[in-house]
Amino acid sequence: MIIREFGVRQGRKALAASLRQGPACLRQLSSLSSETSGTPVAVADPVLQSTLKTSPEAKKTPSLFMQTAKPARKRPVAPDTTKQDWEDAQALRKSMRGVGTTVQPVYSPNDVFRNPPGPKDVTLELLMASQAHMGHHTSVWNPANARYIHGIRQGIHIISLEETAAHLRRAARVVEEVAYRGGLILFVGTRPGQTQIVTQSARLADACHLFTKWTPGTITNSDKILPGLPMKIVDQHDNELEGFDQHLMERRALVPDLVVCLNPLENFVMLHECGLANIPTIGVIDTNTEPTWVTYAIPANDDSLRCLAVIGSVLGRAGEAGNKRRLQDAQKGVVAWETPQAISTWTKIHGKRAEWAARAAREAAEEQAAREAALSGEEPLEKEGEGEVETEGRFRRGQNFRERRPPRASDDS
Amino acid sequence: MSSLRYTVRCLRDIRPTPRPQWHPPAAAATTATATTALPYRPRIHQTARTLSTTASRPADLNNDITKEPPPGWNEFQGAVAATDADADADAGSYPDSSSSSSSSSSSNFGALEAASAVAATPFARAVPVSPSYFSRKPIFNDSYVVVQDLARKYARLPVLPRDKVAPTAWRTKEQYRLAIGEHVKGRDYAECMKLVKRLNQIHPDLMPAEVLAGLAPFKREVNFYLNKPKVLPIDRFGRSHAVGKRKSSIAQAWVVEGTGEVLVNGKPLSDAFGRIHDRESAVWALKSTERIDKYNVWAKVQGGGTTGQAEALTLAIAKALCVHEPALKNPLRRAGCITRDPRKVERKKHGHVKARKMPTWVKR
């Protein structure tokens, strides 16, 4: 249903307005005039009617509304110099770099990501600078951490940095050896802001990372939680191996061989599953955390991203060193890990199947050759006697059967 | 209940191992095709991983397994042992298979080659393809990490204001889930899309190629903002042709500059439509823009009733008029001539007398 009143009231005004703004009208080019108005125009609005009646000369002109139409004013378009400006600014910054006083090394939050410290760089100064010593309020402490605590200052526990450094170095050794033995390491940091830390550590150590919620059962119920996620088979040089598609289809999901947890307080379920599955864990233990949840504790401040970035990069570097050593030894022919039982069993069975298939094929081929030889040899025999023909007929029937038994002594008689 | 579940989980790994069903090759392998599809499923290794929750296997279960070996089992065991010896001595090369594979059929050939390649590698371990393996959403999380890194790396590049950015068709959460097959959480996807849209604001002259690559998984394949409406032509006789629909009527109109003559199905307007209202409706596009004396219309209408035919004509004539004078589109839209009225007869439902009318019902 068309609302005509609306159309009459609004249509003409809108028409005039739009044409004023709009581009050149095709109608303007027309040779026809509007003088011949054969049919009466139904105008419901008395105001409009009066305007139409009072301006007959306007109606006569060929383009009624184009009289008021003006060409759109063109604003001069400034050329976009953003790219040029940006490049100039970069060049200027580069040229001004050497000008002025020499600025002493200052802390930049990105330093730990640009140049990640390794296990060799762990010093008490670095740990102190990254606030690793700050514990929690004394009221929330876990007494099991008493041996890591240096003292109390302004109501909070101060973690002993000698302990932190020693435990961090020990954890780095653990990570390095696990990486050297081809283990799968998982870095977990599920608090907001820890994503960059765990991804960088995993990138360094060629490991896995987790910065979202740990799905309960990822280890103990992995058949249901992680089915069909892509895996690959690699050899001692970390080159991908072909031919294991069937194995990858039917094998079980992977479990990590070492878990590094930056916030054990929120990941008790994961640590418990690791305990059930005999997976060693490394955790950053603050003064309010239970240190027995993890296998290898690193007493440090787990609320400081700066401290966690240092710890994560140290462990990541350790894993990197372990991987490097593993690949170098593999070049020399030394491999410190064994093929997992699942893969070795599958390989054995697969090899046996292939061997038997080959043997069967070979026997079939030999039999075929023998039969052809027999057929070519027996053709002249076919004409000699009736009995011989019968044997031949039986043989031909047997050819169609799937069973091809070797000739027995009874067949000869 | 939880303890029961725990017990069931513990029992999971101590079910008796399914025995391998092996058919001797002499019997089964009569043809080359039969050899490739042996009905054997190795499932032994499925219990290879042992959690500490697993209880040790009861002795009677072990006895049960070893009591009566299936036919062919002893051969199988012997063969496996022989392979072990082979593998120790000579990395598992199969002189038989390599010699016979050349003479056997091609289907056998590939399998044997793969088998020998598998057997020739003494070291093999499984690793996840993606570092986000344990997050259950590896594809999304990998993309998310890439986007976060890019946002960090290119945070200082100049950006366009939001309204100046070329419109991009992003995947919605549901479309993304469908495309990659992972049930991504809405909150995670929203967080990710914030960064993605910020990256997309980078000035196009300075847009790095890796940003474009990183944003690609979040874009739809077809950017519908680039779609252009089809331009209707004016033919060599000065006619424009358009189609309009309403209810179940379909109207075609040819509009040409003229003196206001209208023919609908070969009849003048007054013959085609009995009602004044319908006549007015049919040429309302011309009348509301005061063009009724400037165009001739020749129209065909079919289907439906008089109202539908008249208003289908409105639409057809309005569209055809827009071809002659594109600037009239907005006035015609305000006059209600451009929008297709999508209403149709509602279908009748069962249990109803009509589409919505219910049978009369009185309690007792």
Looking at the fold, whether B275 and B362 belong to one and the same domain comes out as yes
Domain membership of residue B130 (yes or no) is: no
Q: Tell if the CB–CB gap between A232 and B126 is shorter than 8 Å.
A: yes
Residue B152 maps to a domain: yes
Which of A232, A353, A372, A405 has the most B C-beta neighbours within 10 Å, making it the best mutation to test the interface with B?
Answer: A353
Backbone CA torsion sign across B145, B149, B155, B161 = negative
Contacts of B282 in chain A (CB under 8 A): none
Residue B4 lies in a domain: no
Q: How many domains does chain B have?
A: 3
How many whole angstroms separate alpha carbon A402 and alpha carbon A248?
Answer: 34
Minimum CA–CA partner of A214 in chain B: B135
Instruction: Give A-chain residues touching B275 at CB under 8 angstroms.
Output: none
Q: Looking at the structure, do residues B212 and B237 belong to the same domain, yes or no?
A: no
pLDDT at B15: 45
3-state secondary structure A10-41: HHHHHHHHHHHHCCCCHHHHCCCCCCCCCCCC
Instruction: Give the model's pLDDT for residue B92.
Output: 37
In a domain, B199, yes or no: yes
Of A39, A347, A362, the CB nearest to B260: A39
Same domain (yes/no): B113, B73: yes
- Report the 3 state secondary structure along chain B: CHHHHHHHHHHHHHCCCCCCCCCCHHHHCCCHHHHHCCCCCCCHHHHCCCCCCCCCCCHHHHHHHHHCCCCCHHHHHHHHHHHHHHHHHHCCCCHHHHHHHCCCCHHHHHHHHHHHHHHCCCCCEEEECCCCHHHCCHHHHHHHHHHHHHHHHCCCCCECCHHHCCCCCECCHHHHHHHHCCCCCHHHHHHHHHHHHHHHCECHHHCCHHHHHHHHHHECCCCHHHCCCCCCCECCCCCEEEEEEECCEEEEEEEEECCCCEEECCEEHHHHCCCHHHHHHHCHHHHHCCCCCCEEEEEEEECCCHHHHHHHHHHHHHHHHHHHCHHHHHHHHHCCCCCCCCCCCCCCCCCCCCCCCCCCCCCC
B325 interfacial to chain A (CB closer than 8 Å): yes
Contact A339 B126 (CB under 8 A): no
Please state the separation of Cα A198 from the chain's center in Å: 14
Domain range for B328:
229-364
Among B45, B106, B152, B257, most A C-beta atoms within 10 A, so best to mutate, is B45
- Cβ of A220 within 8 Å of Cβ of B53? The answer is yes
Residues 6+ apart with CB under 8 A from A347: A339, B118, B119, B124
Last residue of a domain, one of B159, B192, B226: B226
Are B135 and A212 a contacting pair at CB < 8 A? yes
Which tens digit of pLDDT belongs to each residue from B178-209?
Answer: 999 999 999 999 999 999 999 999 999 999 99
Other CB atoms within 10 Å distance of the CB of residue A80: 12
Q: For residue B215, which of B169, B175, B183, B165 has the smallest C-alpha distance? A: B169
Asked if B315 and B244 touch (Cβ cutoff 8 Å), the reply is yes
Cα distance between the two ends of chain A: 103
**Mutant choice from A88, A108, A212, A232 vs B, greatest count of B C-beta within 10 A:** A212
CA distance B252 to chain A (A): 19
In chain A, which residue's Cα lies nearest the Cα of B121? A235
Contact at CB, B328 and A86, closer than 8 angstroms: no
Substitution target from A356, A366, A372, A404 for chain B, most B beta carbons within 10 A: A356
Q: Does B92 touch chain A (CB under 8 A)?
A: yes
Residue B74 within any structural domain of the chain: yes
Residue from the list A11, A42, A230 with its beta carbon closest to the beta carbon of B334: A11
Q: Quote the pLDDT of residue B73.
A: 55
From chain B, the residues in CB contact with A248 under 8 A are 126
Which amino acid, A213? K
Instruction: Indicate yes or no: CB of A357 within 8 angstroms of CB of B112.
Output: yes
Q: Among B226, B244, B276, where does a domain finish?
A: B226
For chain A, say whether B135 makes contact (Cβ under 8 Å).
yes
Query: Do B276 and B325 have their domain in common?
Result: yes
User: Residue B196 and residue B198: Cα distance in Å, rounded?
Assistant: 5
* CB-count burial class (<10 Å; 0-12, 13-18, 19+) for B322: buried
Q: Tell me which residue in B35, B293, B336 faces A38 most closely, judged by beta carbons.
A: B293
- Across the interface, which of A25, A38, A364 has its CB nearest the CB of B325? A25
Nearest to B233 by CA among A26, A229, A136, A117: A26
| Mean pLDDT rounded to a whole number for chain B | 78
Cβ of B293 and A30 within 8 Å? Answer: no
Nearest residue of A to residue B50, measured between CA atoms = A277
Order of strands, sheet of A258-261, starting from the edge strand that comes earlier in the sequence? A208-210, A185-188, A258-261, A281-285, A296-299
Q: Residue B8: inside a domain, yes or no?
A: no
Asked if residues A42 and B287 have their Cβ atoms less than 8 Å apart, the reply is yes
Interface of B with A in 175-234 (CB under 8 A): 188, 203, 205-206
Look at residue B72 in the predicted model and tell me its pLDDT.
56
Contact between chains at B96 and A355 (C-beta distance less than 8 A): yes
B102 with B144, same domain: the answer is no
Predicted pLDDT of residue B58: 45
B230 token code pair? 């089809």
Question: In which residue ranges of chain B is pLDDT below 50?
Answer: 1, 4, 7-67, 83-110
Q: Are residues B276 and B305 in the same domain?
A: yes
Q: What is the pLDDT of residue B364?
A: 74
Whether this model's ipTM surpasses 0.85 comes out as: no
Cross-chain Cβ contact B293/A235 below 8 Å: no
Report if residue B211 sits inside a domain: yes
The reported pLDDT for the residue numbered B158 is 95
The CATH number of the domain holding residue B257 is: 3.30.230.10
Is the residue at B132 inside a domain? no
The pLDDT value recorded for residue B75 is 59
Final residue belonging to a domain, choices B226, B251, B274: B226
List the pLDDT tens digit at each of the 413 positions of chain A. 555 554 444 544 445 544 444 444 444 444 444 444 444 444 444 444 444 444 445 455 445 555 566 667 778 888 889 999 999 999 999 999 888 888 788 888 899 999 999 999 999 999 999 999 999 999 999 999 999 999 999 999 999 999 999 999 999 999 999 999 999 999 999 999 999 999 999 999 999 999 999 999 999 999 999 998 999 999 999 999 998 999 999 999 999 999 999 999 999 999 999 999 999 999 999 999 999 999 999 999 999 999 999 999 999 999 999 999 999 999 999 999 999 999 999 999 999 999 999 999 999 999 999 999 998 876 555 444 444 444 444 444 444 444 445 555 444 44
Catalogue all structural domains in chain A, each as residue range(s) with its CATH number: 2-49 (no CATH), 112-219+255-337 (3.40.50.10490)
pLDDT value at residue A395: 47
B361 and B272 inside one domain:
yes
Q: What percent of chain B stands above pLDDT 70?
A: 67
